[in-house]
């Protein structure tokens, strides 16, 4: 059965077929977050990886991981081979670095926040600045203090389909979402 609603005349009719509003088929809107994968950490590991990433222009990486007093950094690559050259830049620096910093506080007991990744798989080097932006809450030790950090950067390599997080992860999870248009 289909339901048609004409909001101008307040007419509602039921027929066979699909749902329509003012004659237009109802579909999913843009901006939906589609879960691609979740990596769950239950014992100490030094990296979390997402490979074969494709199909979206924008990705959200949600982080809820505890660390063993370590920085958390991020790299991109192709088919699980990660770029460790000086091809990354923080928004506050004009010099190349080998990875993006996700947390840089002195109390590195965990990272809870997000990273927005724009244009991961760009195939052209023209206007190649792809960006990452994020905000994290870094947990401190037993004192319970925390700090909110905002960060951003860009990199110039093309054709990436892999994301790597580096650190001393103890437990928690990282979930990668594709953002629908």
We report the CATH number of the domain holding residue 40 as 2.60.120
Q: Please tell me whether residues 19 and 89 are part of one structural domain.
A: no
Beta-strand pair 20-21/2-6: parallel
| Helix, strand, coil percent values for the chain (each to nearest 5) | 0, 55, 45
Are residues 63 and 18 both part of a single domain?
A: no
The reported pLDDT for the residue numbered 148 is 64
* pLDDT, position 87: 81
Prediction pTM value? 0.74
44-101 residue pLDDT tens: 999 999 999 999 988 999 988 888 878 888 899 999 999 888 888 776 667 788 888 7
CA–CA distance, 61 with 178 (Å, rounded to integer): 9
Structural domain count of the chain: 2
Domain hosting 14: range is: 1-28
Note whether 14 and 71 are same-domain residues: no
Encode pLDDT of 119-163 as tens digits.
Answer: 887 766 555 455 666 655 555 555 556 666 667 777 767 788 999
The answer to whether residues 47 and 20 belong to one domain is no
User: What pLDDT is recorded for position 25?
Assistant: 47
C-beta separation of 59 from 177 below 8 A: yes
Q: Do residues 15 and 81 share a domain?
A: no
């Amino acid at each position: 059965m289909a339901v048609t609603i004409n909001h101008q005349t307040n007419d509602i009719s039921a027929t066979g077929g699909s749902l329509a509003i003012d004659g237009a088929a109802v579909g999913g809107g843009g901006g939906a977050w589609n879960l691609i994968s979740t990596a769950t950490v239950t014992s100490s590991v030094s990296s979390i990886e997402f490979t074969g990433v494709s199909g979206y222009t924008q990705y959200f990486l949600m982080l809820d991981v505890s660390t063993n007093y370590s920085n958390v950094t991020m790299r991109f690559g192709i088919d699980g081979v990660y770029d460790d050259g000086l091809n990354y830049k923080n928004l506050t620096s004009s010099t190349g670095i080998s990875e993006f910093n996700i947390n840089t506080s002195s109390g590195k007991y965990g990272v809870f926040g997000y990273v927005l990744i724009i244009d991961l798989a760009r195939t052209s080097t023209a206007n190649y600045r792809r960006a990452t932006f994020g905000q994290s809450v870094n947990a401190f030790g037993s004192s319970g203090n925390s700090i909110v950090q905002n960060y951003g950067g860009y990199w110039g390599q093309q054709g990436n389909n892999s994301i790597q997080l580096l650190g001393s992860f103890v437990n928690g999870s990282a979930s990668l979402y594709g953002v629908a248009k």
